[in-house]
Amino acid sequence: MLKNFSLFIALRYLKPKRTYVSIITLISIVGVTLGVTVLIVVIAVMTGFEKKLEELILGFEPHVRVVRAAGFDAGADGGWPAALSRLEKLPEVEAAAPYVMGQVIVQFGDEGRRRQKALVMLGLREEDEVQMDRLGKLVEEGEIDLSYEGCLVSKQFADDNGIRIDDQIEVYPTGDLDEIVGGLLDAAEDEGLSDEELRERVRKLTESIQTPKDLRVTGIFDSMTYVDFIVIPFFQAQELYEFDENDDVHGLAVDVGDAFGADQKQPAINSVLPRGWYSETWIQRHALRFATIRNERAMMYFVLFFIVLVAAFSTMNTMITVTVQKRHEIGVMKALGARVSQIVWVFLGQGMIVGLIGSLAGLGLGTVVLHYRNTLRDWLSERMGLDIFPGEMYGVAEIPSKIVGSDIATICIGAFVLCTLAALPPAYMVARLDPAKALRD
């Protein structure tokens, strides 16, 4: 038998024998459980999405990107080789390498069934170890071979189009297409242009097209996004964009070791850059995106906590019901010498018990839901046609999640505190109860 008088009575009131208060108590616990579960699942998914987004960005993007401002001569002050040499001498910089990045048209398939698709192209040098190591962690089939005709394609593009290792593909620059389309539109607007003259115009335009780059797929990597990528040799990318070998690139990829300390090391990088060059960290480039996610998560905290608040009101209603139904018993206890504080702690104990059980049950249920989140999503998609967290929209194949201890503590403690505070109004009513009136009524 419990020696604590208040706790003993609180447990008896939560589980009576002949009334329906136990059902109301169960509803209160279920309300707290569902509120805590929803909060844990939503916050964990949003936190996981933010962390996944960081992984996606750092999987391809450098910590700091150094680019040349528009309007400056590419070969001025020694061009990109001079800027690269200065960066490599900095103690804050662990590695630096040039890159070429843009959109290209890829042609693939068997003869008679050739298909074309636009891909994001990334031109890298095979001797740049940091970039090769980063890419090597994503390779699932084949190997990294950026020799004369080797290339790597993203797994999403390969799966959607049946691309396999050693397949031959052709890569075209998109700049030629702009020139052809513009020329044809100009020709169509010339009213006096004959068919022969139009054909001659088309012939001249097609002659200006660069010879496509014939490449062989040597590896397939998981870009972890639904964006189709192709990685080709650096010099091939320069030729596609008609860049001079020693003068022009799209930028320099700088690795500073600690990606989250890139902003602190940026001033040192800026201090050695030649005139016309500037730097931008990955944090600065995606600041708006991360700020949006953090604001949405804060709003979710605020909105979803109302679910727990409603459950706390349900708990308060339960104890008010107990106060009304047990008015006579409470009067007897006070008449027999029970202190006001003991009676008050009966109701505070009920609120604490409901909050504790609901929080722990919500934590357990939330953990289970997060563990089977993708299975549950697939089941809902098959049975009800609900497309939850579509990959095409969010850029990830699976629902991400990350449980942070501080978030769990805030949610569970918050639910416990709200349920405890909900016990104060009925406890205040009990404190003012006159034993004589309670017995007479």
At 48, give phi and psi (nearest 5°): -65, -35
pLDDT higher than 50, residue 383: yes
User: For residue 278, what are the β-bridge partners?
Assistant: 67
pLDDT at 182: 54
pLDDT > 90: percent of the chain:
2
Sign of the alpha-carbon dihedral angle for 169, 173, 174, 179: negative
Dump pLDDT digits (tens) for 239-277: 888 777 666 788 888 888 888 888 888 888 888 888 878
How large is the average pLDDT for residues 333-340?
Answer: 71
What is the rounded end-to-end Cα distance, in angstroms, of the chain? 31
157 near 230, Cβ under 8 Å? yes
209: closest CA among 172, 173, 176?
176
pLDDT, one tens digit per residue, over 164-183 is 888 888 888 876 555 555 55
Q: Would you say 383 and 46 are in contact if contact means Cβ atoms under 8 Å apart?
A: no
Bigger pLDDT: 336 vs 264: 264
What pLDDT score does 365 carry? 93
Residue 95 has a pLDDT of 87
Compute the average pLDDT of residues 301-311: 81
- The H-assigned helical ranges of 89-152 are 129-136
pLDDT above 60 (res 152): yes
Q: 38 or 316, which is more confident?
A: 38
* Structure-derived torsion over alpha carbons of residues 309, 313, 319, 320, reported in degrees to the nearest 10: 150
Using the CB atoms, write b or e for 276-307: b if 16+ within 10 Å: bbebebbbeeeeeeeeebeeebeebbeebbeb
Give the pLDDT of residue 3.
Answer: 58
Q: Is the pLDDT of residue 438 over 70?
A: no
Instruction: Find the angle CA(25)-CA(27)-CA(29) to the nearest 5 degrees.
Output: 70
3-state secondary structure of 390: coil
- Residue 426 pLDDT: 79
* Per-residue model confidence as pLDDT tens digits over 386-402: 777 666 666 666 788 88
Lowest-confidence segment of 95-99, 199-203, 263-267, 299-303 by average pLDDT: 199-203
Q: What is the mean pLDDT of residues 103-110?
A: 83
pLDDT band at 368 (very low <50, low <70, confident <90, very high): very high
Give the closest residue to 430 by CA, choosing from 314, 356, 351: 351
Q: pLDDT tens across 59-77, in order? A: 777 888 888 877 666 556 6
- Per-residue pLDDT, averaged over 125-152, amounts to 84
- Name the H helices within 129-286: 129-136, 155-161, 175-189, 195-207, 234-240, 262-272, 282-285
CA-to-CA dists, residue 80 to 74, 95, 96, 249, 279, angstroms: 8, 15, 11, 7, 13
Mean pLDDT along residues 147-157: 85
What is the Cα 123 distance to its own chain's centre?
26
| pTM over the 0.75 mark | no
